[in-house]
Structure 1
Amino acid sequence: MLTAVTGINWGDEGKGRVIDLLAENADVVVRYQGGNNAGHTVVAKQQKFVLNLLPSGILHENVICILGDGMVVDLEHLTNEIAQIREKGVVVTPNNLKLSKRATISMPWHKIQDELEETRLAKTGAAFGSTKRGIAYAYSDKYRKKTLRLGDLLHLKEESVQNRLKMMLEAKNLELAGCYYQEPMSYPALLSWCEAQAAELWPYIVDTGAYLEEALKEGKRVVLEAQLGAMRDIDYGIFPYTSSSSTISAYGPIGAGIPGKQLDHAVGVLKAYSTCVGAGPFTAEKAMPESWMELLRKFGGEYGAATGRPRRVGPFDAVASRYGLKCQNADKIALTKLDVLSMMKEIPVIVGYKKGNQEVTDFDPIEDLEEYVPIVRMLPGWQTDISGCVTYDELPDAAKAYVETLEDLLQHEIQFISVGAERSQYLTKGEWL
């Protein structure tokens, strides 16, 4: 069975939590796009794990984890991430972690370019809110055919690879010197860097597409893990405030390395309220005063897993969520962090937008979203701890009414609800996976 877990909104919906739970019954978990510019936070073994590149399934001993074809991989970051979770007792070997030979390498200059350009744009107030981890530049060079793939690390002694490396470096030095007045980088230093990465990671680099084809043929359960959400998709998100890859479920099999396969399920993950990291339009933050948002941020621990930046927050946005649900074509919905709302006497929900005197119920990411203001409906809160609830019927009536209001606005059943940060603190309703 092939299942993708995707974000319906801006990212940070809690996908890592859902993937971690699905991994209990999975054989393989695959990251299929993105890089280390975002992260999944998972609480397991009485510890908190922040995973930027490694799939969330790495916390399960019997699960094979894969970094797929569609990713851009910062090799030094990956090595450090492996070392950090090993220190917490997690086993990572070539037996349970496999790196696609087709995945793109994030080269040393990509982070340099990202930081230099974001700094330049910030002077005019036009910065994108980049994490400065080089993701856009790694993807850009992928499509310009001016970077290496992981499989190239296995062939560094070959003349063809070395010639390509020299060509790439020459072009990059011209860019960095001409645009940003940087000193040129040397070929011997670059080759030495590549050799050091190859020495560290070569046992992990394989044809992961062939591995996945065989796993599916044997009837194994494969979970595809997305980074970020529909609003950050390069084609369907709020351009140009997007990531540089496709975050939607339809890309899952392609980015995983099995383009001929179809998904059996797409799980769309929603948070019980709205959050956003980075720049760009975010209508939800216009709904409530800053004091309300700061309280929500505090109780929800809303700080970026990769950057530590405070997240922009607001009420649940039904308009944006309907659009994200359509993009992800999700047949299952997981709602996370319902427990965070337990301290509220009244809970706001965005049911529409207004532009002047016109009411808007459909989300269009290429419209000037800054002109829209939210239409808010207030729902009664439950003001009691729900973290111990293990069935839907145990939830307070007001909490059930909140969930059912979201279902009505989305025109879709919610089958999974998290009521706390621990693995065991969730409940299901309807037909879950």
Structure 2
Amino acid sequence: MNTIICGLQWGDEGKGKIVDYLTEHADIVARGQGGNNAGHTVIAHGTKYILHLIPSGILWEGKECIIGNGVVMDPIGLCKEITNIEEQGVSVTADKLKISDRAHIVLPYHRELDAAREAALGSKKIGTTKRGIGPTYADKANRCGIRMADLLDDSTILERIETRLVDANATLSKVGLPTFDAQEVLDEVRPAIERLRPHVTNTIPMLHAAWKADKTILFEGAQGSFLDVDFGTYPFVTSSNTTAGGACTGSGLPPHAVQRVVGVCKAYTTRVGSGPFITENDDISDYFHAKGMEFGATTGRPRRCGWLDTVLVRFACMVNGVTDLAVTILDGLDDREDIDICVAYEIDGERHEFPPANREAWDRAVPIYETVKGWQADTTQCRTFDELPANAQAYLNRIGELCGAPVKYVGVGPDREQTIFV
């Protein structure tokens, strides 16, 4: 089956681990949105890999990886990432990694524009990674973006950059940030472009040929559903569609080519950056941080932590059409005596089963909790559902009931082998 894997919270759900687990039975692993603001951590055979742009399938032999047209790609960042994992013994050849010639490019001025916008917002800042993702997607929507195919065209690229810098430099100079020279921008990225040139192709016919040949395609989502520009906690969102639909528009395959959607959520909730977080809990945050857990793979920032919010996950399951749930880091709750589950919100005296659209309503929302007994036992050695403590099984079953999708995968540790198929 062709499968989309998407996050059901605010990212950092452990999608990379689930992608890595399912890659064994896939022929192609593709990314369709986001950029190097994503951080997927995979631990295989005791080795830790952190991936930002490269699909997690790169860690397996005999798998093709595709960075699709919907991704915004930092060529310098990608080259650094390739170098890092090659130093860990992973091969990244041109036949193993393909890059869409339609992918939009993050250039140095995009990062400065990102920083300028965050600074201008002050206390209302979004909390972006300042990697230029939003400004690159804005250029795409404004029809002034630069794509990989443009960078490979030496006859026109300098003029394209010069044209874009007219507005970009005006914006930067207003806030006292350095402006850019087109030739210097091109000189800075040219070595990376030359290194990546063998990887660049029209990836859409490749994916269609694979689909028609009954090969198995795995779509690796980035960020999470509540960072989706349409369905997330707007305006505290990313600039792309992080939900299942983004995998199709970001790769060129139609929706009917996909048979399964695996939604990934933690056994609790985390968030990095600004924005509403109804179940945020200082005790849970301190608990995980003291254990050396919950620091961003991309930013290193401590994540905000709280109890599982099934209002979010329920809505995300609807929007994504989730067929299978993957619950990760169940072992993170092994020591807890009691565990709270948010089953609804109370807003202005009314019960809400789904998240509000109104920004101010989030500030008035109060979680309605259901408390279940913890298991207070080590789950990291469990390899089947039946080996899990009874209370852990009950917790997972309750998650499935509340969210409207069955739990099919359970993570009980960071390693590839610490994954239970239910």
The normalised TM-score by structure 1 is 0.94
SS at match of 1:25: coil
Summarize the alignment of residues 34-73 of structure 1 with structure 2, pairs less than 5 Å apart: 34-73=34-73
* Cross-structure match for 1:229: 224
Cα pair 2:40 2:297 within 8 Å, conserved? yes
- Classify 1:155/1:401 alpha carbon distance in 2 versus 1 (closer, same or farther; 3 Å): same
CA drift at 1:215 = 1.2
Query: What is the CA–CA distance in structure 2 between the aligned matches of 1:361 and 1:219, rounded to whole Å?
Result: 40
How many equivalent residue pairs? 421
Query: What is the CA–CA distance in structure 2 between the aligned matches of 1:31 and 1:250, rounded to whole Å?
Result: 13
Query: Which residue type is aligned with residue 46 of structure 1?
Result: G
* Cross-structure match for 1:85: 85
- Classify 1:169/1:46 alpha carbon distance in 2 versus 1 (closer, same or farther; 3 Å): same
Query: Which residue type is aligned with residue 322 of structure 2?
Result: A
CA drift at 1:253 = 1.6
* Cross-structure match for 2:168: 172
Query: What is the CA–CA distance in structure 2 between the aligned matches of 1:300 and 1:268, rounded to whole Å?
Result: 26
SS at match of 1:79: helix
SS at match of 1:5: strand
Query: Which residue type is aligned with residue 114 of structure 2?
Result: D
CA drift at 1:356 = 3.9
Cα pair 2:211 2:257 within 8 Å, conserved? no
Cα pair 1:300 1:337 within 8 Å, conserved? no
- Classify 1:356/1:258 alpha carbon distance in 2 versus 1 (closer, same or farther; 3 Å): closer
Query: What is the CA–CA distance in structure 2 between the aligned matches of 1:44 and 1:64, rounded to whole Å?
Result: 18
SS at match of 2:152: helix
Q: What is the CA deviation profile of residues 316-356 of structure 1, one whole-angstrom value per residue up to 9, with x for unaligned ones?
A: 11111111111111111111111111111111111221224
* Cross-structure match for 1:142: 140
CA drift at 1:267 = 0.7
* Cross-structure match for 1:152: 150
* Cross-structure match for 1:210: 205
- Is 2:295 the partner of 1:295? no
Tell which deviates more after alignment, 183-192 or 407-416. 183-192
Q: What is the CA deviation profile of residues 150-209 of structure 1, one whole-angstrom value per residue up to 9, with x for unaligned ones?
A: 1122211x2x444323211223222222x2234442232123234323222111111111
- Classify 1:264/1:184 alpha carbon distance in 2 versus 1 (closer, same or farther; 3 Å): same
Summarize the alignment of residues 11-26 of structure 1 with structure 2, pairs less than 5 Å apart: 11-26=11-26
- Is 2:241 the partner of 1:246? yes
SS at match of 1:29: strand
- Is 2:170 the partner of 1:187? no
Query: What is the CA–CA distance in structure 2 between the aligned matches of 1:298 and 1:317, rounded to whole Å?
Result: 22
- Classify 1:340/1:186 alpha carbon distance in 2 versus 1 (closer, same or farther; 3 Å): same
Cα pair 2:322 2:405 within 8 Å, conserved? no
Q: What is the CA deviation profile of residues 12-40 of structure 1, one whole-angstrom value per residue up to 9, with x for unaligned ones?
A: 11100000011111111001000111211
Query: What is the CA–CA distance in structure 2 between the aligned matches of 1:182 and 1:363, rounded to whole Å?
Result: 38
* Cross-structure match for 1:107: 107
Query: Which residue type is aligned with residue 69 of structure 1?
Result: N
Unaligned runs of 5+ residues in structure 2 are none
- Classify 1:298/1:214 alpha carbon distance in 2 versus 1 (closer, same or farther; 3 Å): farther
CA drift at 1:291 = 2.8
Q: What is the CA deviation profile of residues 374-412 of structure 1, one whole-angstrom value per residue up to 9, with x for unaligned ones?
A: 112221111111111111111111111111111221232
Cα pair 2:43 2:416 within 8 Å, conserved? yes
- Classify 1:204/1:320 alpha carbon distance in 2 versus 1 (closer, same or farther; 3 Å): same
Tell which deviates more after alignment, 62-71 or 138-147. 138-147
SS at match of 2:417: coil
Identity over aligned residues, as a percent?
Answer: 37
- Is 2:361 the partner of 1:365? no
Tell which deviates more after alignment, 318-327 or 192-201. 192-201
SS at match of 1:284: coil
Query: Which residue type is aligned with residue 77 of structure 1?
Result: G
SS at match of 2:220: strand
CA drift at 1:293 = 2.6
Cα pair 2:267 2:328 within 8 Å, conserved? yes
Query: Which residue type is aligned with residue 71 of structure 2?
Result: M
Query: What is the CA–CA distance in structure 1 between the aligned matches of 2:255 and 2:370, rounded to whole Å?
Result: 44
Query: What is the CA–CA distance in structure 1 between the aligned matches of 2:334 and 2:169, rounded to whole Å?
Result: 55
* Cross-structure match for 2:394: 401
Query: What is the CA–CA distance in structure 2 between the aligned matches of 1:74 and 1:411, rounded to whole Å?
Result: 38
* Cross-structure match for 2:305: 313
SS at match of 2:24: helix
Cα pair 2:113 2:168 within 8 Å, conserved? no
SS at match of 1:12: coil
Unaligned runs of 5+ residues in structure 1 are none
Query: Which residue type is aligned with residue 413 of structure 1?
Result: P
Query: Which residue type is aligned with residue 320 of structure 2?
Result: Q
CA drift at 1:304 = 0.8
Query: What is the CA–CA distance in structure 2 between the aligned matches of 1:191 and 1:425, rounded to whole Å?
Result: 45
CA drift at 1:300 = 7.2
Tell which deviates more after alignment, 126-135 or 143-152. 143-152
Cα pair 1:299 1:340 within 8 Å, conserved? no
RMSD: 1.6
Query: What is the CA–CA distance in structure 1 between the aligned matches of 2:177 and 2:285, rounded to whole Å?
Result: 42
